[in-house]
Amino acid sequence: MTILIAILSRLAKAALTLLAIAVLNFCLLHAAPGDPAVVLAGEAGAADEQMIAQLRERFGLDQPLYVQLGKYIAGIVQLDLGYSFRQSAPVIDLIAERLPATLLLTLTAFVISLTCGIALGVAAAARVGKVSDSLLTTLALLFYATPLYWLALMAVLVFSVWLGWLPGFGYETVGSDFSGFARAIDILKHLILPALTLGLFFMAVYMRMTRASMLEVSTADFVKTAKAKGLSGPVIRRRHILRNAILPVVTLAGLQAGQLVGGAVLTETVFAWPGIGRLMFESLAARDYNTILGVFLVSAAMVILFNIVTDIVYRIVDPRIGARA
Amino acid sequence: MVGVVLLVAVIFIAIFAPLIFANTPWQMVQRPFLAPFAMESLPLGTDTLGRDVAAQLAYGARVSLLVGLVSTLVALLIGVPLGALAGFYGGYVDEGAMRFTEFFQTIPNFALAIVLVAIFEPTLASITLAIAIVSWPPVARLVRAEVMSVRKREFVDAATLAGLSKPRILVRQVLPNTVSPIIVMASLMVATAILLESSLSFLGLGDPNAMSWGYMIGAARTVIRSAWWLSFFPGIAIVITVLALNLIGEGLNDALNPHLSRKGKA
Amino acid sequence: MSTTLSIEHLTIGLPEGADRPFAVEDVSMAIEKGEILCVVGESGSGKSMTANALMGLLPPGVNVKAGRAMFEARDVLRLPEGEKQALRGASMAMIFQEPMTALNPLMRIGDQIVEVFAAHDRYTQSERREKALALIREVQLPDPEKIIRAYPFQLSGGQRQRAMIAMALALEPKLLIADEPTTALDVTTQAQILKLILDLREKRGMAVMFITHDFGVVAEIADQVIVMRMGKVVERGSATEVLENPQHDYTKRLLEAIPTGKLPEARQLSETPALEIKGLRKIYRTGGGMFKPVREVRAVDDVSLTVARGEVLGLVGESGSGKSTLGRTAVRLVTPDGGQVMVGGTDLAALSDEELRKQRHKVQMVFQDPYASLNPRQRIMGAITDGPITRGIPRKEAEARARELLEIVGLGADAASRFPHEFSGGQRQRIGIARALAMDPELIIADEAVSALDVSIQAQVLDLLRELREKLELSILFITHDLRVAAQLCDRIAVMQKGKLVEIGTVHDIFLNPQQEYTRKLLAAVPGADWDQQGAA
Amino acid sequence: QEAGGRLDIVVQPEPPSLMLGLVQNGPTQLVAGDIYEGLLRYGTDLQPQPLLAKSWEISDDGLTYTFTLNEGVKWHDGEDFTAEDVVFSADVFLRETHARLRASLAYVESITAPDDTTVVFQLKEPFGPFISVFETGTMPIVPKHIYEGTDFANNEMNATPIGTGPFKFEAWEKGSYIHLVKNEDYYVDGLPYLDEVYYRVIPDAAARAVAFETGEVDVLPGGSVENWDVPRLTEMDNVCSTGSGWEFFAPHAWMWLNNREGPTSDVRFRQAVMYAMDRDFQRDVVWNGFGNVATGPVSSKTNFYSDDVTIYDHNPEKAEELLAEMGYDGEEVRLLPLPYGETWQRWAEAIRQNLSEVGINVSIDSTDVAGWNEKTSQWDYDMAFTYLYQYGDPALGVSRNYTADRIQKGSPWNNVEGYDNPELDEKWFAAATMISPEERQAAYNEIQQEIVDDVPVAWLLELEFPTIYRCDIKDLVTTGIGVNDGPRNAWIEQ
Ligand SMILES: Nc1ncnc2c1ncn2[C@@H]1O[C@H](COP(=O)(O)OP(=O)(O)OP(=O)(O)O)[C@@H](O)[C@H]1O
Ligand SMILES: Nc1ncnc2c1ncn2[C@@H]1O[C@H](COP(=O)(O)OP(=O)(O)OP(=O)(O)O)[C@@H](O)[C@H]1O
Ligand SMILES: [Mg+2]
Ligand SMILES: [Mg+2]
């Protein structure tokens, strides 16, 4: 019950934060040089004063900035993210079209990086000081240090061009008319490379963190207690150390899960993944303000959502939080 | 140790680039796409316009390191005072500062960097600033958390009891005790900043007048098939530098953490 | 009687860079079935190492160099890991020094007990639960049904320690090793746990190796005693032999330094109050964020008392009774929720921040935790002179005075240029005292100022305080949980319980004629109280 | 010729909309060129060919253009196509929405439809290039029954375009692909051969090359991959390429030199720039040998080209002389590259290097597409890259960049450099309204000679964008607009 109220109040607060973010972003974007009307006119291949004036009027860009802001905020309150000038469609539709792809990519990458990262971190911590530990740690460091886009290019080169195992880009085989299970398999094949490249960096982060955290916890007194009980090494690691070591990883993961939504621009670009990050990047080039603002708002909402989820996960993992009565 | 040696080497190359290479990295010196080791004077070959890759690499080190160091410095300059004030004074100061920080954290930071660079137009200064702007919030949070925990330590009470003023306590007693985690974080931030700069360059948001590693990879990606060395060498340079900074960071982490140094990671 | 454990010529090597080559050297001892062997000795003498070696839990770098430990006809020091595992928890169990951290914070108490059975593959799932419940009852934890599902943070320190004991006893081990299991606990809880161990020894006839530095505890439970120093056994014998007729110099010194229950003569107190506290109240509110209900603790609840000039007022009471809070309110590190604090006639609450800062020097505090109260990155000189310099005393003068004070507390002037971590706990506590004195205060709040000290150094510091009281007419609010120490130094004693002042009176009144039930309980819980009376006699 | 099959064609960037009447940028023309049609199409020799109009007639005074339309043409939604649609499109719809066409329509007195298959354009005065404005991208015919009386820009049907072309719109998966299917009712028997066409959106140039290599796509229209990739791709088995298919557009690249202020306002400086540049190197290295060095404002592929002009070779000494003569003091000159990918970036770097070798202090401004549009249309630059289409006739695609009446702030497609030469303006106008081609040729020769000496802009290259495709695709590029209407006739050899 109290949890429910707490979540509700937190959501209300989040809504306010979002509104403030919308205002801030609005101001930020309008500080950018570049006029969407001019861009649109430019794209048309020819333009004159009349056309630009028409465009401005049509999009309300001829009005003073504060009026535009007022209208925009009023729209947001009614869950209307505005209209994309460039794509001539409501922003919310554009985002809705792209969001599933991004979520599929980033969540897969997230799950892969988290599970593998933690598993490898545990493995490395268990072998601390041995060759295999150094090997794993160095590998993680390498993944961490390698620029993501470079890795992506290499992955395409190797797995797609040379070996021909996996499709190098896109979301699914275009025009294949797959449906049901076959389609799922097809999408999965397309998903592997981008999800892996996106995941590798975070995997490295989680692994290092898990390892460090495991080592730290393994010096705790209760680990000694567990040994004194006669528990075996693996049992101690699983039941005692890992559970305590995972908390900082959860915090970090929560932060990053939110960031993943907007942080996949590079991966989406290299792999032609029709996601929201690319939408943002392309809209930025066209000064399609409403779309960028929409993307920012949605990803901010994601971050906040994931923060709440993190808190709940935290509560499940650590009974000390909030349980004091 | 390895980290320090590597980093010093990179810094050395960066500083002395003009002495080592007679030409600017933009000079077209030979036919394009000269493979590495094919010609003695051009050990790493030439790029798409026939420019010396080795010179580009050396000059690129300057930009990449500069962006990394300066942006980290700026991020610290924003993050440390903000976090320190929030953590030390608490209450409304804290609330205000943290809400402010939250704004910057809710926008995915790579996306924010892209927008900022696009807004200010890509110059070395704007790129550095944009990277600083997206990297300070974690610093503020860290410093805040550290200050909050140090503030509760009893020696702060002791200083209060000795009649020291609050600002003086913050600066002289509290902050020095938060230095080690900040240093460790900073070394990692430099690494992240270098990666971020290169990612921006890759997307075409680099400073066109500054030769950087990210620029090199971005420029080379279209010829990755026919001229592997053009993206390989700068890629390796980034990996080595980031690796070095990470090793230094971890080394510092261990050195500054009494628990770990005592255990002796032999 | 049969011998449960016999240690023969045990030598444990320390890694390079340690303060000495061997943690313990050529140590032998034996414990009979159903016997309690107390191991006493100064801090760092190798007591814990011996215990850990038996359990096979030596820290990395520390190794058994020689000797053997025969248990059930096997040398436990040389068993392969697998067999050791089988032994641990089943026939040989250990209770650790620190109850607060020895339990996994994320696991229910019941599960942590059940785990012991699981590790040794005993009983079925449901039986294990039953057994766990029975154990919880046996160690007299209240409301077992609830406790079994509780997390460690929901338990008090004493309850946690009992849960630990339950775990150790789960498989009815033949040998129980208890490493200072009561140091962190207040006297009343300590008494309960000692009783529990005695009961269990009776019921199950297990052998106990009990590590402690408290002779009161030794007197209460020991059959045999071993005294260790610098890794060597310096004396051994039955409890009565060692306590009453010590042979070795070190043992004698230890015993001499124990504060006796002897009460000092009453002194004439001055009329002018140095500190007046009226109706003081402090409520701590914690939590109240996301998901958390607000929790209120009435740390100090309507307390009034005065300390006269030149008086030492002892403040005693169990842990958490609000002693430190009261002290901190007096120096105004904590803002009270109600009531008045007058120092030398001025009400600190009425002062502005700036004026308060100027008046600060009048009351000083020696903090409970000496290490925490020193800035680890500041040299001792800075720590001591910061205050006086802020007050406007010239640097030279302040530094000269600091050196003088360091000499007075017995550290030597060269201590000034060192960092806090380069001192031992006792030395740090003396630095804290020097720092307080440097401000020329009228009143010192000494919060457990001698708790970290060896009995011998403890005596030294008490002498110093007595001297200052005489010479400078210094008033002291002396906070302690050690009634014996309080008896030695104080003029009057105030007793606190759960934030309330339950009794206040002269030392003689309190010790010889306590009015309150709670005070009587506190006095009775002092370990080795009987033996002590004899000593006093 | 065999029917059947599917083509996958790269489109880059993703078009903002497929409604060709509203948006006419490159990607839209590429995709929507299969959906919509104009009255005529133009061969690689720029001569008109029938499309919606099966024949046409121009009166001797050059004022009356009469078109006879094909019969039995249907819109994709089944409605009949009539002459009324043409009148509506040209006179109502495009007048409002199509800026480039609007300039040509200024010469038009009236547009009428005497019967269902006849359309008559009556001009006010002769306009030499008028026969070239009926191309699909210039005058796409839109359905009157859908748009009449509506708000064109916000018409819901814009999302599902209805045309008369050989392919119908089927689906658009944003960020992935656009799917067109064969128009079974197409009015030319047997056409089109292909069953379907996919336009694939792949944002990264390297990925586009990979897509072609792995067989994901079959056609890389000009400009889809960076030039350096072209040799590698064309060397693959069963891969063909052609430079043809751009004649109508004849993309012509130059740098605007700001004639209003700074060093670039001095004609000697502008000439120095021309001499300082090594344009052969630019073509050979930056453009990998594609294209020709431009001699002046008119592309050699366009009608009325003349090479009887001053030739600027690579001559640094001459450039230094000119700079010394004008007393150039090393003032910084900003260079704005075109943000269209690595080739353009490298090009700017190469030119900066050339210029700095003769002592010109150049810094490259970096910006994205929006910034480029903003800066050029607000005249905030010193030197700025651009390339423009010539649309087959100097009066349509060339003069707009040099006459003073086209100095209009706010658009990057006119006289952005601010070149103001009234004498020459007269000649441009006169040349546009002449009827006889010989007369016009003479007039344009004169214009070219004069303007090249003035160097209002620094002409660079006549660009060539090779189209790369698999050799078993036949008849893909048959007209002057290449792939834009290529799928209409293309077929795949089995
Ligand atoms: N992990 C370690 N590495 C090196 N030396 C250690 C380690 N732990 C303890 N020592 C050293 O071993 C010696 C014995 O330590 P031990 O913990 O047995 O003392 P103790 O008698 O239990 O003291 P206390 O009463 O303070 O608990 C000490 O000199 C100590 O400094
Ligand atoms: N800062 C604080 N916030 C919340 N509760 C506190 C705080 N400080 C103390 N308390 C609570 O107030 C009560 C009194 O604490 P206090 O430290 O005064 O006890 P004490 O008598 O000094 O105990 P000890 O002998 O263990 O030092 C305890 O229940 C404690 O948990
Ligand atoms: Mg010990
Ligand atoms: Mg206390």
Nearest-angstrom CA–CA distance, C371 and C421: 8
Per residue in A19-62, pLDDT (tens digit) is: 888 887 788 777 766 677 777 776 665 566 677 777 777 777 77
Domain count, chain A: 2
Q: For B178, what's the count of Cα atoms within 13 Å in the CB-facing half-sphere?
A: 31
Structure tokens at D274: 């021309």
- Give how far A263 is from chain C: nearest CA, Å: 28
Per residue in B223-234, pLDDT (tens digit) is: 777 777 888 888
Q: Is B122 helix (H, G, I), strand (E, B) or coil?
A: coil
Across the interface, do A147 and B114 touch by the CB < 8 Å criterion? no
Q: Does residue A267 sit within a domain?
A: yes
In this prediction, residue C260 carries a pLDDT of 59
Kindly tell me if the per-residue pLDDT of B77 is higher than 90.
yes
**Nearest of C103, C96, C105 to residue C160 by alpha carbon:** C103
Structure tokens at D2: 């065999």
Please, where are the H alpha helices in D235-339? 267-276, 279-281, 316-326
Q: Does residue A6 sit within a domain?
A: no
Across the interface, do B114 and A33 touch by the CB < 8 Å criterion? no
> Residue range C500-512: average pLDDT?
86
Return residues 133-192 of C near A (CB < 8 Å).
151, 153-154, 164, 167-168
Domains within chain C, CATH numbers bracketed: 98-170 (no CATH), 310-334+350-536 (3.40.50.300)
Per residue in C392-433, pLDDT (tens digit) is: 889 999 999 999 888 887 787 788 888 887 776 777 888 888
β-pair partners for C315: C479, C494
In this prediction, residue D275 carries a pLDDT of 92
Q: Please, which chains are in contact with B (at least 3 CB pairs closer than 8 A)? A: A, C, D
Return residues 169-208 of B near C (CB < 8 Å).
173, 176-177
In this prediction, residue B71 carries a pLDDT of 92
Domains within chain B, CATH numbers bracketed: 1-24+44-256 (1.10.3720.10)
Domain of A316 in residue numbering reads as 93-324
Q: Are A174 and D8 in contact (CB under 8 A)?
A: yes
In this prediction, residue C451 carries a pLDDT of 67
* CA distances from residue D165 to D30, D38, D82, D155 in whole angstroms, order as listed: 13, 9, 14, 20
Nearest-angstrom CA–CA distance, A155 and A98: 24
Please indicate, yes or no, whether residues A174 and A32 belong to a single structural domain of this protein.
Answer: no
Please indicate, yes or no, whether residues A174 and A103 belong to a single structural domain of this protein.
Answer: yes
Torsion sign (Cα): D95, D101, D107, D110: negative
Please indicate, yes or no, whether residues A69 and A178 belong to a single structural domain of this protein.
Answer: no
Kindly tell me if the per-residue pLDDT of B70 is higher than 90.
yes
The angle, 0 to 180 degrees and rounded to 10, between the axes of the packed helices A289-317 and B109-120 is 150
Among chain A residues, CA nearest to D205: A270
Among chain A residues, CA nearest to B219: A150
From chain B, pick out residues whose CB is under 8 angstroms from the CB of D349. 26, 49, 208
Bond prior to D297 in cis (omega within 30° of 0): no
Please, where are the H alpha helices in C351-444? 353-359, 380-391, 395-408, 425-438
- The DSSP annotation for D87-117 comes to HIIIIIIHHHH-HHHHHHHTTEEEEEEEETT
Please indicate, yes or no, whether residues A30 and A125 belong to a single structural domain of this protein.
Answer: no
Q: Work out the angle at residue D382's Cα, subtended by the Cα atoms of residues D335 and D389, and round it to the nearest 5 degrees.
A: 75
Q: Please, which chains are in contact with A (at least 3 CB pairs closer than 8 A)? A: B, C, D
Please indicate, yes or no, whether residues A133 and A273 belong to a single structural domain of this protein.
Answer: yes
From chain D, pick out residues whose CB is under 8 angstroms from the CB of A45. 24-26, 100, 389, 413
Out of C156, C325, C522, mutate this one to test ligand 2's pocket (max ligand atoms within 8 Å of CB): namely C325
In this prediction, residue D296 carries a pLDDT of 87
Q: Which ligand is nearest to the Cα of residue C21, counting in written order?
A: 1
Identify which of B109, B238, B263 has the shortest CB distance to residue A147.
B238
In this prediction, residue B75 carries a pLDDT of 92
β-pair partners for D10: D200
Nearest-angstrom CA–CA distance, D110 and D469: 43
Q: What does pLDDT average to over chain A?
A: 80
Interchain CB contact of B14 with A (< 8 Å): no
Q: Does residue A168 sit within a domain?
A: yes
Interchain CB contact of D30 with B (< 8 Å): no
| Percent of chain C topping pLDDT 90 | 4
In this prediction, residue B260 carries a pLDDT of 45
- The DSSP annotation for C422-444 comes to GS-HHHHHHHHHHHHHHT--SEE
Q: Are A250 and A313 in contact (CB under 8 A)?
A: yes
The pLDDT-based confidence of B261 (bands split at 50, 70, 90) is very low
Q: Are C28 and C9 in contact (CB under 8 A)?
A: yes
> Residue range D4-23: average pLDDT?
86
From chain B, pick out residues whose CB is under 8 angstroms from the CB of A24. 103
Please indicate, yes or no, whether residues A112 and A187 belong to a single structural domain of this protein.
Answer: yes
Pocket of ligand 1 (CB under 6 A): C 14-15, 18-19, 23, 41, 43-49, 59, 61-62, 213
At D241, give phi and psi (nearest 5°): -145, 155
Interchain CB contact of A225 with C (< 8 Å): yes
Please indicate, yes or no, whether residues A74 and A158 belong to a single structural domain of this protein.
Answer: no
Of the residues A80, A101, A120, which one is the last residue of a structural domain?
A: A80
Selected residue with higher pLDDT from C97 and B77:
B77
Q: Are C395 and C385 in contact (CB under 8 A)?
A: yes
Selected residue with higher pLDDT from C315 and B108:
C315
* CATH at residue A178: 1.10.3720.10
Instruction: With residue D253 as reference, give the H or E element that holds it.
Output: strand D252-257
Whose tokens are 């700001």? That residue is D258
Q: Does residue A57 sit within a domain?
A: yes
Please indicate, yes or no, whether residues A28 and A109 belong to a single structural domain of this protein.
Answer: no
Closest protein CA for atom 4 of ligand 2: C284
In this prediction, residue A33 carries a pLDDT of 66
Kindly tell me if the per-residue pLDDT of C479 is higher than 70.
yes
Out of C16, C27, C49, mutate this one to test ligand 1's pocket (max ligand atoms within 8 Å of CB): namely C49
> Residue range B117-140: average pLDDT?
86
Kindly tell me if the per-residue pLDDT of B258 is higher than 60.
no
Q: Are C405 and C399 in contact (CB under 8 A)?
A: no
The pLDDT-based confidence of D60 (bands split at 50, 70, 90) is confident
In this prediction, residue B197 carries a pLDDT of 87
Of the residues A57, A80, A103, which one is the last residue of a structural domain?
A: A80
Closest protein CA for atom 1 of ligand 1: C59
Interchain CB contact of B158 with C (< 8 Å): yes
Torsion of CA D122, D125, D127, D128, to 10 degrees: 110
Per residue in D83-110, pLDDT (tens digit) is: 888 889 888 888 888 877 888 888 888 8
Nearest-angstrom CA–CA distance, C259 and C489: 10
Closest protein CA for atom 22 of ligand 1: C48
From chain C, pick out residues whose CB is under 8 angstroms from the CB of B165. 357
Spatial neighbors of B19 by CB under 8 A, at least 6 apart, are none
Label residue C203 exposed, middle or buried (CB < 10 Å: 0-12, 13-18, 19+): exposed
Q: Does residue A260 sit within a domain?
A: yes
In this prediction, residue C295 carries a pLDDT of 64
At D143, give phi and psi (nearest 5°): -75, 120
β-pair partners for C506: C492
Selected residue with higher pLDDT from D179 and C229:
D179
Nearest-angstrom CA–CA distance, B196 and B135: 10
Nearest-angstrom CA–CA distance, A157 and A141: 23
Cβ C187 under 6 angstroms from ligand 2:
no
The pLDDT-based confidence of C18 (bands split at 50, 70, 90) is low
Please indicate, yes or no, whether residues A237 and A147 belong to a single structural domain of this protein.
Answer: yes
Kindly tell me if the per-residue pLDDT of C268 is higher than 80.
no
Please indicate, yes or no, whether residues A98 and A58 belong to a single structural domain of this protein.
Answer: no
Please indicate, yes or no, whether residues A28 and A138 belong to a single structural domain of this protein.
Answer: no
Cα C114 to ligand 3 centroid, rounded to whole Å:
28
Q: Does residue A14 sit within a domain?
A: no
Torsion sign (Cα): C327, C328, C332, C335: negative
Long-range contacts of B86-91 (CB under 8 A, 24+ apart): B86/B140, B86/B144, B86/B147, B87/B143, B87/B144, B87/B145, B87/B146, B87/B147, B87/B148, B87/B151, B88/B147, B88/B148, B88/B151, B88/B166, B88/B170, B88/B174, B90/B148
Please indicate, yes or no, whether residues A68 and A169 belong to a single structural domain of this protein.
Answer: no
Kindly tell me if the per-residue pLDDT of A323 is higher than 60.
no
Cα C48 to ligand 3 centroid, rounded to whole Å:
4
The pLDDT-based confidence of C17 (bands split at 50, 70, 90) is low
Kindly tell me if the per-residue pLDDT of B73 is higher than 90.
yes
> Residue range C478-488: average pLDDT?
81
From chain D, pick out residues whose CB is under 8 angstroms from the CB of B32. 285
In this prediction, residue C291 carries a pLDDT of 44
Q: Do chains A and C touch (3 or more CB pairs under 8 A)?
A: yes
Range with the largest mean pLDDT of A88-97, C9-18, C41-50, D256-265:
D256-265
Interchain CB contact of D233 with B (< 8 Å): no
ipTM comes to 0.78
Q: Does residue A288 sit within a domain?
A: yes
Q: How many residues does chain A have?
A: 325
The pLDDT-based confidence of C534 (bands split at 50, 70, 90) is very low
Q: CB D70: neighbour CB atoms within 10 A?
A: 18
Least confident of B161-165, C14-18, C124-128, C224-228: C14-18
Across the interface, do B154 and C375 touch by the CB < 8 Å criterion? no
Q: CB D407: neighbour CB atoms within 10 A?
A: 17
